[in-house]
Chains A and B, each alone.
Chain A
Amino acid sequence: MKKYEKTIEIVLLISATVATLSVFLITFFIFKEGLPLLLDYGITNFVFGKDWAPTNGKYGAFPMIAGSVSVTVGALVIGVPAGIACAIFLAEIAPKSVVKFLKPAVELLAGIPSVVYGFFGLSVFVPMIRNYILPMVQKWNPNAYTSGYSILGGSMILAIMILPTIINISENSIRAVPIEYKQGSLALGASRFETIAKVILPAAKSGVVASVVLGMGRAVGETMAVILITGNMPKVPGNVLDSVATLTGTIAMEMGYATPTHQKALFAMGIVLFVFIMLLNMMATCTKRKLGGE
C-alpha cells in the first residue's frame, strides 16, 4: 500500500514537471535550429541588417524588428491609458451592477480568437484608414499615401487585444490595496479622485506596471491579427501609415514555402522574438516582486 502511494506521488510529480520540461524542449529546439545561422551570419548583421531577401541569401531582420516594435508601441499608446482607466472604473467607481456585465465583457474580449480580430481589422480598420484618415492627412501633407495596411491599423487592433490583460491585472492590484489607505486619505479630506490618483494608484503601481509589460508581451507575440492588417512589407517604416512586416508575421507567412536555409533564418528570427518575450516576462515578474506586489 505504501509503495503504491509512493508510485502515485512520483507519477504526479512527473506530470507537474511536464510544463517546465516543455519550456526547456522549446528553448533547445528553437536555438538548435536558429543559432547556427545566427552565428554564421553574425548576430549584429542579422539584427541590424536592413535587407531581407532570403532568395539572395540576405537575412537582415531589422525591418521586422522595427515593424514589431512600432506596432507594439502604437498599441501601448492607445491601449495602456484606456486599459488602466477601465481598471480604475471597475475597481473603484463602477457600481456592482455595472461590474457584473462589464467584467464578463472583458473576459469575452480575451476569449475572441486573434484571427477574428485580424479579420475585423482587415475589413473595418484598413478601409477606414484608406478612405477617411488618409484624406484628412493629405490636407496638410499632399504626398501622404497609404494602402490602409499600416502600423496604425495594426496598433488599433492590438490595443483592443491587450485591453483584457491590462484591465484584469491592474484591476486586481488596485483591489488589493488595503482599504485603510483609502479610508485614511478620505478622512484627511481628499476627494475620491485625489484618493485614486495619489494614494491608490501609487500603491498599486507594481501590478499596473506588470500589466503593461505583459500587455506588451502579448502585442509583440501576436501573429494572426497583425499579419492580416500591417501589409507585411519588409522595409523600415517612416510613419504610422506605412506598411510593415513584423517578426511573428514574417515567420508565419514564409514558413510554408521556405527553403531549408530560409527556414533556419526564420528560426533565428524566432530566437530574437523568444529572447525578447522572455526578457519582458522576467521584467513583469521582477516588478511585481521588487515593488512588493500582491
Chain B
Amino acid sequence: MVEMGMSKIITTNKKMKINIKEKLWYFFIYLSALFTLIALLSIIGYILMNGAKHIHWEFFVKEPSSMGREGGIFSIIVGTLYLTLVSIVIATPIGVAGAIYLTEYAKENRLVRIIRFGTETLAGIPSIIFGLFGFVFFVVFLGFRWSILSGGLTLAMMILPTLLRATEESLKTVPQSYREGSLALGATKWQTIMKVVLPSSVSGILTGLILGIGRAVGETAAVMLTAGSSLGLPKSIMDPARTMSVHLYLLASEGLSKEKTFATATVLVIFVVIINCFANILANKYMKKTKVES
C-alpha cells in the first residue's frame, strides 16, 4: 500500500517535470518563430524609417555628385537596370531551354545525373568566387574590361540555376494528358512543347525570372569585381557601371553620407519587397491552377 503510494508520487513528480520541460520547449519554439518575424520586420522597418524621409523625386532623377555624397542615384538606377537586363536576356533562353531538355527529352542516364549535379553545384558557389572567375575570365582573359557585359555574363551564370529549376518545376506540373492530346493530333514533339507545354507553364517561368531579377539586383561582390564601380552614366554595354547594391556598400563602408546611404538602402529594400510579392502572387497562381487541373 505504502509502496504503491510512493510510486504514484514519483510518477506524478516525473510527469510534472516533463510538463515543465515541455512547456519550456514550446516556449522556445514560439520564441524562435517570433524571432524570425521580428528580425525581418526590424530590418525592413529600421531601414524604411531612416530612409523614407530622404527620398524625393530628385533622388531618382539627379546624377550623383562628389562620390555619391550629393545628388541622386539616376546613373546607378540606369546601371542596375542595364546590368539586370543583360543578365536575364542571356540566362533566360539558356535556362528555359535546359529545363525543357531535362523534363521533356532527357532519360535518366549518366549525362543527366552529371547535368543535375553540375547545376546544383553552380547554385552553391559563393558570389565572391563568381566575382573572381568573372574578373579573370571576362574582364581579363576575354578582354571585356570592367563592363556591363562582363558583369551581365557573370550574373547570368549566377541566376541560371534558379531559372532552370523554377522552369523545370513548372514544366513538371503540366499534365501528361496535354502532351498526349497534342501528339495524338499529329503535332511533333517540338510543336507540342512550343504551343502546349510552354504556354501552360508561363507563370512558373516568370516566377523563376523574377527571382533571378531579385538576385541580380541584390548581388554585390561579384558585380563589384566584374562591372566596376564607376559612377558615370553607362552609354554602352562595354561601359562600367555601379549598381544599387554596390553603391550602398561603398557609401556604407566609406561613411560618406548617412542620409544617402539610408535612402539607397530604402530603394533597394522596397524593390526587393515588390519583387517578392510578385513572385509570391505568381507562384500561388500556378499552384492553384495545377491543383484544379490535377
Q: A residues engaging B (CB < 8 A)?
A: 1, 4-5, 8-9, 11-13, 15-26, 29-30, 33, 81-83, 85-86, 88-90, 93-94, 102, 104-109, 111-120, 122-124, 160, 163, 167, 191, 193, 197, 214, 217, 220-224, 227-228, 248, 251-252, 255-256, 266-267, 270, 273-274, 277-278, 281, 285
Contact = CB atoms under 8 A, between A and B. Distances in A.
A105 B276 CA distance: 10
Contacts of B233: none
A112 B219 CA distance: 10
B128 A273 contact: yes
A124 B46 contact: yes
Contact of A5 (B135, B188, B273): B188
Given A23-B122, A113-B272, A120-B43, A33 B261 contact: no
A12 B120 CA distance: 18
A105 B280 CA distance: 11
B224 A26 contact: no
A104 B124 contact: no
B132 A113 contact: no
Contacts of A13: 101, 105
Interface in B217-262: 217-221, 224-225, 245-246, 248-249, 252-253, 261
A85 B32 contact: yes
Contact of B29 (A4, A89, A112): A89
A85 B29 contact: yes
Contacts of A108: 40, 44, 272-273, 276
Interface in B18-45: 22, 25-26, 28-33, 35-37, 39-40, 43-44
Contacts of B95: 15
A221 B130 CA distance: 11
Given A16-B102, A20-B119, A255-B225, A119 B248 contact: yes
Given A19-B161, A248-B128, 15 more contacts: A16-B101, A20-B115, A20-B117, A22-B122, A33-B136, A82-B35, A85-B32, A113-B245, A123-B252, A221-B129, A227-B253, A255-B132, A270-B128, A273-B129, A285-B120
Kindly name the residue among A8, A24, A191 whose own CB sees the greatest number of chain B CB atoms within 10 A.
Answer: A8
B33 A94 contact: yes
A193 to B, nearest CB: 5
Contacts of A4: 190
A211 B10 CA distance: 40
B188 A167 contact: no
14 contacts: A16-B97, A16-B101, A19-B115, A26-B129, A30-B132, A81-B32, A89-B29, A115-B249, A118-B249, A120-B47, A124-B46, A221-B126, A221-B128, A252-B131
Nearest to B228: A256
Contact of B46 (A120, A223, A256, A266): A120
A102 B29 CA distance: 14
Contacts of B101: 9, 12-13, 15-16
Nearest to B164: A19
A22 B160 contact: yes
Contacts of B47: 116, 119-120
Q: Which 6 A-B pairs have the closest CB atoms?
A: A221-B126, A20-B118, A113-B218, A15-B97, A85-B32, A16-B98
A132 B37 CA distance: 24
Given A9-B101, A113-B268, A191-B22, A223 B221 contact: yes
Contact of B98 (A18, A114, A191, A256): A18
B67 interface: no
Nearest to B30: A89
Contact of B39 (A109, A114, A217): A109
Given A112-B43, A118-B252, A221-B128, A18 B160 contact: yes
Contacts of A89: 29-30, 32-33
A71 to B, nearest CB: 14
Nearest to B141: A29
Contacts of A119: 47, 248-249, 252, 261, 265
B143 to A, nearest CB: 15
A13 to B, nearest CB: 5
Given A107-B280, A217-B124, A221-B127, A12 B261 contact: no
Given A105-B40, A167-B36, A248-B221, A30 B22 contact: no
B93 interface: yes
B224 A252 contact: yes
